[in-house]
């Protein structure tokens, strides 16, 4: 057995090997140690290998999914080795001591999950393959749980941003290719070829040309080849659902780099969770598919005005008709996740329940179609979606007749094919039922015949049906002419067989076996029907998700008083009463009100310099306007009274930074890298928010950098920009930069306390209020008072001394400290001089040392 295990482990490579032994998956050696630690299960041993005990742990097969989920979440990959023959087949093949054959039937990895228990319902599970062909990077991405597949290419410098947009849970790349910006699983480079990718795509979709799917670059095809080859590998020759690939153009989506996505907390918060993110504040979807589509929309906002307006028209239609919106959401709420059920079926991991979900989901789609088909005021996008919802009448009728109302998740016990669908199956079930009733009658007959009231007919998986009586009553049944045959003696009971009982048991087993086989055949037929219609079913699932998103956005807009944005070609950003959706929701949960602010960036006034105190709301103001742009181009209403937004090609956010120690970058280096990317890539159509550029270095260096960056953004990039700063000196740039205007977040000091108004007003900030904010934060009063004295000295003496730090040694606190230290030294010196060391006893000398130490500690 261990030789078989080691051979399979060599095939599994760096994956943990789940080795099937009866009702358990066992792990051995280092796999067992790693799994036991992650899963918090017992680590035992089994036998020896080279004289050393073999570590072992195991998990039950029936609950393996839960353990797999924890291992995948911990970053592991798992190979599943199943028994591919029964013990009886092994005996016929090799005798009584033959080992049951096993083989790896599947690799379970983060990007190739389809099981409902292993997936997050509201998050897509994207697998991406990346490579480089002649200086161009190709990306192939798919979510095999729904079959969606997309291809794109980009410049090497933009690969990181593209992968950040996709948010892939697993990435595969050619072995030896070092340019991948994220950790990828190395795969043979020979699978990443354009010719191979083209051939694989044709084979998957059964076509002789890819022209009907779009125009693919060589880099796209090479990435697709690597992706399909990897899926073939992990599925052991069984490919999942793959829909025809969609070409994604770089210009079709609002470009955002990884730093911007992190800064704006679009899909995850700064804590790495969904809570506190934009999608969490926005999501009112009633289906998992809708929530996944919403996240995709937010991750990849559009740049085509026509497509944006089509989405907004659908949201507007549902916003205006609350009754219709409520009806649609009620129907959608009852619809199962059709896309993921289809994905499991096509991948060969489906269940009768998945077939039932297809039936029920497609039936709900038909209900929506019937509800809307007579409406005359439908927007164009709904007109396009409506025909997709109605094309499955025959399939729904077939599945409704074939399946019971609530099919089980397991099919090995049968019971999922509806009565009346197959008369032969009904007859087998009748025979089986009659035989069970006959067995009950036999039990009563045997009690009367033997006079043993405690006699029972029982069943187990080893003996089948048998008669059981208490041991004290068994002797009469042992007689040769009793009609009973002894089978087993237990501690308190004896078991027998009888001819009539054996006959009925045979009828049950035969009928039951035939019934299971008949149900299995029907299951495969229904799966075949679903697979044949997979593309049409997937399109219906996508249409349901799109309707759910539109209804959810309309619900959110009605709930929050959001407005439809006016999306225009002019490079402007004119927002009236704008609000930050996440911060507003957080404040509302505490019963507090968010202070709305206007933002008006026009061609002649496109760069705002925003000053004011920390905690005054500068960063919130910057981010809320970036999020309003993002929401508008994703096709959503926005948290504002009104908004007129010129299409943005690239969105940049450099707000806050932290060390990136893994890449050897300090906070300031991270800040400069992000700023450099903005200056190199922002165009006149871009929107940029910058906060506190230059704060991570010396005052003069920082001021000089901030000054130069403002000039570059104004004169070279010429983009719309909000620039927050504490450097008051930058206000002088308004004299030379005609498109720059000065603004500040308002604050007031009242009776010594700082009052933050969170209002944005015109004009420069009069001061930074840093000391007031420090006091508000709880810095001790003596420290604040001392800082005030230092500040006054600095402001007074900057010009006179020629440096900010000059003369600090003469300030009262430093002078007093120096004087106190000198007095302590003089005192200790005088006491030591007056000592007669020879006259001191050892005890007196020790006490004196303790006294001097206490004195020095108290003074110091």
Task: Render the burial of 548-586: b for 16+ CB within 10 Å, e for the rest.
Answer: bbbbbbbbbbbebebbbbebeeebbbbbebbbbbbbbbe
Beta pairing class for 246-247 and 52-60: unpaired
What is residue 804's predicted lDDT score, i.e. its pLDDT? 40
Architecture of domain 566-775: 3-Layer(aba) Sandwich (3.40)
The residue-averaged pLDDT of 607-617 equals 85
Cα gap 17→8, rounded to integer Å = 8
What's the topology of domain 116-252? Answer: Nucleotidyltransferase; domain 5 (3.30.420)
Flag whether pLDDT at 807 surpasses 60.
no
**Range among 87-91, 352-356, 827-831, 833-837 rated most confident:** 352-356
Flag whether pLDDT at 133 surpasses 60.
yes
523 HSE (CA, 13 A, CB side): 27
* Residue whose tokens read 């045979």: 506
Q: How far, in Å, are 140, 271, 397, 412, 817 from residue 522 at the CA level?
A: 36, 49, 15, 13, 92
For 337-351, how does the pLDDT look when each residue is reduced to its tens digit (9 = 90+)? 999 999 999 988 899
| DSSP E strand boundaries for 211-334 | 246-247, 255-256
Cα gap 646→649, rounded to integer Å = 10
For 562-603, how does the pLDDT look when each residue is reduced to its tens digit (9 = 90+)? 999 999 999 999 999 999 999 999 999 999 999 999 999 999
Cα gap 333→601, rounded to integer Å = 41
Flag whether pLDDT at 225 surpasses 90.
yes
Flag whether pLDDT at 369 surpasses 90.
yes
Please report the sign of the dihedral spanned by the C-alpha atoms of residue 464, residue 469, residue 472, residue 477: negative
- The average confidence (pLDDT) of the chain is 88
Cα gap 170→797, rounded to integer Å = 59
What is residue 815's predicted lDDT score, i.e. its pLDDT? 44
Between residues 676 and 598, the one the model is more confident about: 598
What is residue 808's predicted lDDT score, i.e. its pLDDT? 37
Flag whether pLDDT at 789 surpasses 60.
yes
- CATH assignment, 283-392+533-560: 1.10.1420.10
Flag whether pLDDT at 189 surpasses 50.
yes
> What residues have CB less than 8 Å from 90, skipping those under 6 apart?
98, 99, 100, 101
Flag whether pLDDT at 819 surpasses 70.
no
Q: Are 765 and 744 in contact (CB under 8 A)?
A: yes
Please count the other Cβ atoms lying within 10 Å of the Cβ belonging to residue 12.
20
Percent over 90 (pLDDT), the chain: 59
- CATH assignment, 2-108: 3.40.1170.10
Flag whether pLDDT at 359 surpasses 50.
yes
* Secondary structure letter of residue 249 according to DSSP: P
Longest dimension (CA), the chain: 126
* 137, β-bridge pairs: 132, 154
Q: Which of 272-276, 365-369, 395-399 has the lowest mean pLDDT?
A: 272-276
What is residue 638's predicted lDDT score, i.e. its pLDDT? 98
Cα gap 36→27, rounded to integer Å = 9
Q: Which of 637, 640, 643 is nearest to 566 (CA)?
A: 643
Length of the chain: 860
Q: Which of 67, 87, 72 is nearest to 25 (CA)?
A: 67
Q: Are 633 and 611 in contact (CB under 8 A)?
A: no
Phi, psi of 104 (to 5 degrees): -75, 120
Cα gap 285→550, rounded to integer Å = 9
The residue-averaged pLDDT of 482-490 equals 90
What is residue 434's predicted lDDT score, i.e. its pLDDT? 75
Please count the other Cβ atoms lying within 10 Å of the Cβ belonging to residue 676.
11
Flag whether pLDDT at 857 surpasses 80.
no
Flag whether pLDDT at 851 surpasses 70.
yes
Banded model confidence at residue 817, pLDDT cuts 50, 70, 90: very low
Q: 362 by DSSP, 3-state: which?
A: helix
The three state secondary structure string of 611-637 is ECCCCCCHHHHHHHHHHHHHHHHHCCC
What is residue 297's predicted lDDT score, i.e. its pLDDT? 96
The residue-averaged pLDDT of 621-635 equals 97
Q: Which of 29-38, 350-359, 365-374, 778-787 has the lowest mean pLDDT?
A: 778-787
Between residues 154 and 821, the one the model is more confident about: 154
Q: Which of 57-71, 133-147, 424-438 has the lowest mean pLDDT?
A: 424-438
The residue-averaged pLDDT of 180-200 equals 90
Q: Are 547 and 295 in contact (CB under 8 A)?
A: no
* Secondary structure letter of residue 417 according to DSSP: B
Please count the other Cβ atoms lying within 10 Å of the Cβ belonging to residue 804.
14
Inter-helix orientation angle 499-532/352-372, to 10°: 40
Q: Which of 13-22, 274-283, 792-801 has the lowest mean pLDDT?
A: 792-801
The residue-averaged pLDDT of 275-285 equals 95
Please count the other Cβ atoms lying within 10 Å of the Cβ belonging to residue 777.
10
Cα gap 479→372, rounded to integer Å = 78
What is residue 663's predicted lDDT score, i.e. its pLDDT? 54
Flag whether pLDDT at 455 surpasses 60.
yes
The residue-averaged pLDDT of 98-119 equals 89
The residue-averaged pLDDT of 246-255 equals 85
For 513-553, how does the pLDDT look when each residue is reduced to its tens digit (9 = 90+)? 888 899 999 999 999 999 999 999 999 999 999 999 999 99
Flag whether pLDDT at 662 surpasses 50.
no
Architecture of domain 423-517: Orthogonal Bundle (1.10)
The residue-averaged pLDDT of 280-288 equals 96
> What residues have CB less than 8 Å from 367, skipping those under 6 apart?
331
Q: Are 343 and 306 in contact (CB under 8 A)?
A: no
Banded model confidence at residue 649, pLDDT cuts 50, 70, 90: very high
What is residue 803's predicted lDDT score, i.e. its pLDDT? 47
The residue-averaged pLDDT of 186-205 equals 94
Q: Which of 9-23, 87-101, 286-300, 548-562 has the lowest mean pLDDT?
A: 87-101
What is residue 767's predicted lDDT score, i.e. its pLDDT? 66
Beta pairing class for 642-646 and 566-568: parallel
What is residue 249's predicted lDDT score, i.e. its pLDDT? 76
What is residue 798's predicted lDDT score, i.e. its pLDDT? 58
């Amino acid at each position: 057995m261990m030789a078989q295990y080691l051979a399979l482990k060599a095939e599994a490579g760096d994956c943990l090997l789940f080795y099937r032994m009866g009702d358990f998956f066992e792990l051995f050696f280092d796999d067992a140690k790693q799994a036991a630690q992650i899963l918090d299960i017992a680590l035992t041993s089994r036998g020896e290998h080279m004289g050393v005990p073999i570590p072992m742990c195991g998990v039950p097969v029936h609950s393996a999914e839960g353990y797999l989920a924890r291992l995948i979440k911990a970053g592991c990959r798992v190979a599943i080795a199943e028994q591919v023959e029964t013990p009886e087949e092994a005996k016929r093949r090799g005798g009584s001591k033959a080992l049951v054959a096993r083989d790896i039937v599947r690799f379970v990895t983060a990007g190739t999950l389809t099981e409902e228990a292993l997936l997050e319902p509201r998050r897509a599970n994207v697998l991406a393959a990346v490579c480089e062909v002649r200086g161009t990077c190709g990306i192939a991405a798919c979510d095999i749980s729904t079959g969606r597949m997309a291809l794109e290419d980009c410049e090497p410098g933009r690969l990181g941003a593209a992968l950040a947009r996709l948010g892939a849970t697993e990435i595969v790349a050619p072995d030896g290719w070092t340019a991948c910006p994220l950790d990828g699983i190395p795969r043979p480079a020979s699978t990443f070829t354009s010719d191979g990718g083209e051939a694989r795509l044709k084979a998957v979709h059964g076509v002789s040309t890819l022209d009907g799917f779009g125009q693919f670059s060589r880099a796209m095809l090479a990435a697709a080849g690597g992706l399909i080859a990897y899926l073939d590998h992990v599925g052991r020759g069984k490919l999942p659902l793959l829909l025809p690939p969609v070409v994604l153009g770089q210009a079709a989506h609002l470009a955002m780099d990884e730093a911007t996505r992190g800064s704006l907390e679009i899909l995850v918060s700064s804590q790495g969770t969904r809570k506190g993110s934009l999608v969490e504040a926005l999501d009112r979807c009633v289906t998992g598919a809708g929530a996944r589509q919403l996240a995709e929309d937010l991750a990849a906002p559009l740049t085509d005005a026509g497509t944006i307006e089509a989405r907004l028209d659908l949201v507007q239609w549902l916003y205006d008709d609350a009754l219709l919106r409520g009806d649609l959401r009620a129907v959608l709420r009852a619809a199962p996740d059709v896309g993921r059920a289809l994905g499991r079926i096509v991948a060969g991991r489906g269940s009768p329940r998945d077939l039932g979900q297809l039936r029920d989901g497609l039936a709900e789609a038909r209900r929506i179609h019937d509800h809307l088909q007579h409406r005359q005021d439908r927007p164009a996008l709904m007109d396009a979606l409506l025909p997709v919802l109605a094309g499955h009448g025959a399939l729904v009728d077939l599945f409704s007749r074939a399946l019971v109302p609530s099919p089980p998740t397991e099919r090995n016990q049968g019971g999922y094919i509806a009565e009346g669908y197959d008369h032969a199956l009904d007859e087998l079930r009748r025979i089986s039922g009659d035989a069970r009733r006959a067995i009950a009658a036999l039990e009563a007959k045997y009690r009367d015949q033997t006079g043993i009231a405690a006699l029972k007919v029982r069943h187990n998986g080893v003996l089948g049906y048998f008669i059981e009586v208490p041991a004290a009553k068994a002797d009469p049944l042992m007689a040769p002419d009793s009609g009973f045959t002894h089978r087993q003696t237990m501690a308190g009971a004896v078991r027998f067989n009888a001819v009539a009982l054996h006959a009925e048991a045979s009828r049950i087993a035969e009928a039951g076996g035939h019934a299971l086989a008949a149900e299995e055949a029907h299951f495969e037929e229904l799966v075949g029907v679903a697979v044949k219609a997979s593309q049409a079913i997937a399109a219906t699932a996508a249409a349901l998700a799109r309707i759910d998103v539109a209804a959810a956005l309309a619900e959110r807009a009605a709930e929050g008083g959001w407005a439809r944005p006016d999306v225009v070609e002019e490079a402007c950003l004119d927002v009236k009463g704008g609000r930050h959706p996440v911060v507003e929701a957080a404040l509302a949960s505490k019963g507090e009100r968010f202070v709305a602010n206007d933002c008006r960036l026009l061609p002649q006034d496109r760069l705002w310099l925003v000053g004011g105190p920390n905690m005054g709301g500068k960063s919130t103001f910057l981010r809320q306007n970036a999020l309003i742009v993002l929401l508008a181009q994703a096709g959503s209403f926005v948290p504002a009274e009104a908004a007129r937004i010129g299409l943005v090609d690239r969105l940049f956010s450099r707000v806050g930074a932290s060390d990136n120690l893994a890449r050897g970058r300090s906070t300031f280096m991270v800040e400069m890298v992000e700023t450099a990317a903005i200056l190199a890539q922002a165009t006149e159509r871009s929107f940029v928010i910058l906060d506190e550029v230059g704060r991570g270095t010396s005052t003069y260096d920082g001021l000089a950098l901030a000054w130069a960056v403002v000039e570059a953004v104004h004169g070279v990039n010429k983009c719309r920009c909000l620039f927050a700063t504490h450097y008051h000196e930058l206000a002088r740039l308004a004299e030379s930069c005609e498109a720059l205007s000065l603004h500040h977040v308002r604050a007031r000091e009242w009776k010594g306390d700082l009052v933050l108004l969170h209002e944005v007003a015109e004009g420069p900030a009069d001061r930074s209020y840093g000391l007031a904010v420090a006091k508000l934060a709880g810095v001790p009063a003596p420290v604040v008072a001392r800082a005030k004295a230092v500040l006054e000295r600095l402001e007074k003496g900057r010009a006179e001394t020629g440096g900010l730090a000059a003369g600090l040694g003469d300030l009262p606190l430093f002078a007093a400290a120096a004087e106190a230290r000198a007095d302590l030294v003089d005192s200790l010196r005088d006491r030591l001089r007056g000592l007669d060391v020879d006259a001191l006893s050892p005890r007196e000398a020790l006490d004196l040392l303790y006294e001097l130490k206490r004195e020095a500690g108290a003074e110091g």
